[in-house]
Amino acid sequence: MSKDKRHWRRLPEALAEPGWRWIMTWIGVSNMLSAYGDEHRRLRKLIAPSFTARRTKAMQPIVEGIVAELLDAMDAQPPGRPVDLRSAFAHPLPMRVICELFGVPAHMRTEMAQVMEAIMDTTATPEQAEATAVQIATVLPALVAYKREHPGDDLTTELINVRDSGDSLSDDELRDTLLLLIAAGHETTVNLIGNAVHALLTHPDHLKGVLSGEISWSAVIEETLRWSPSIANLPLRFAIEAIEIGGVRIEAGDAIITSYLAAGHDPDQHGQEADRFDPTKEHGEHLAFGIGVHRCIGAPLARQEALTALPALFSRFPDLRLAVKESELPHVPSFIAHGWGSLPLLLRR
């Protein structure tokens, strides 16, 4: 199986169809997520060493500092007023961490966050998708230009140095690698934190178990990733040769969507109660970070952020609860990103 769009037999049709514009942000870009074979290895090798468990651990003081600052700001809200967990905590934490890592200056962060949210919006009209493509083509080159003038001890500067020291990274690959990493760093961990908080607040027995120390935070995080993964579905893979799976034949050149949400609920893999959130049970390995050569390189960072954020949040606000009925919570408008568009909470009794 390949992720290179050149292996898709319907690519010419997709390129000609305005309704398909949005998908080009996913498959029409030049980064490791949409590359195959040697090209994939080359692009992944440039950045993977920056996300090892050891490099990620070194980020811990920064993560803790941001968590404490965000909790203080929530604490300072007038009593009784609902606080949206997404905008007050779950979103700014990963956004600030990834912006620190990539040296994104303060004046570019709001626009950067807007672009990353727009990429995930799979309800966008062709016009909106076109506007997002234009924004990507502006915002990321602006970051590169800024970092060329103001280099720092950050990953954008490192990638610019690779670009400028030879032919191992083209301008498009530099732009699209930044796009992938900043987008992956933003939206996915946001939903991991939001989905875990939602799962605990709607399963009070498990919340009690976590607060009493019977259930570990790691178990909550892994169970959230299985039951409610931050990426529900990911476009696209392409069959290089005909494949037969469970009696279904996929022809060479056909497109395939991988569904991490469906995989996490598969009773053959996770038992007859796979549809239930239960961090007390051993459910077997989940696929929320993918598998194989494209496996997520940010998994250690995402886990570390969640493992810092969740205990700190519930230790500061042990009586946290939903401020609206569960049925009133809006989903993120996407079949790729999977989470809550807002999560209004009451902080205290």
Between 132 and 230, whose beta carbon lies closer to ligand HEM? 230
Closer Cβ to ligand HEM, 11 or 299, answer by number: 299
Least Å from the CB of residue 340 to ligand HEM = 14
Q: Name which of 64 and 214 has its Cβ closer to ligand HEM.
A: 64
For ligand HEM, give the closer residue by CB, 33 or 112: 33
Query: Residue 2: in which H helix or E strand, if any?
Result: none
- Is residue 98 within 8 A of residue 182, CB to CB? The reply is yes
Q: How far apart are CA 284 and CA 302, in angstroms?
A: 20
Q: Which residue is nearest to ligand HEM (CB)?
A: 298
- Nearest alpha-carbon partner for 266 in 258, 332, 292, 3: 258
Q: Quick check: 190 and 341 in contact, CB under 8 A?
A: no
322 preceded by cis ω (within 30°)?
no
CB 130 → ligand HEM: shortest distance, Å? 25
CB of 256 to ligand HEM, least distance (A): 11
**Complex with ligand HEM: residue 132 or 189, whichever CB lies closer:** 189
The least CB distance from residue 251 to ligand HEM, in Å, is 21
Q: Which is nearer to ligand HEM, 184 or 310 (CB)?
A: 184
Burial pattern 72-98, b for ≥16 Cβ within 10 A else e, equals eebeeeeeeeebbbbebbbbbbbbbbb
The Cβ of residue 292 has, within 10 Å, a number of other Cβ atoms equal to 6
Contact indicator for 301, 51 with CB cutoff of 8 Å: yes
Query: Least distance (Å) from ligand HEM to the CB of residue 177?
Result: 8
Supply the minimum distance, in Å, between the C-beta of residue 53 and ligand HEM.
13
**What is the SS3 string spanning 142-178?**
HHHHHHHHCCCCCHHHHHHHHHHCCCCCCHHHHHHHH
What tokens appear for 115 in the block? Answer: 């672009």
Phi (first) and psi of residue 330, to 5 degrees: -85, 140
- Min dist. Cβ of residue 321 to ligand HEM (A): 24
Residues that bind ligand HEM (CB under 6 A): 32-33, 44, 98, 180-181, 184-185, 188-189, 192, 229-231, 234, 260, 288-290, 294, 296-298, 301-302
By beta-carbon proximity to ligand HEM, the closer residue of 83 and 183 is 183
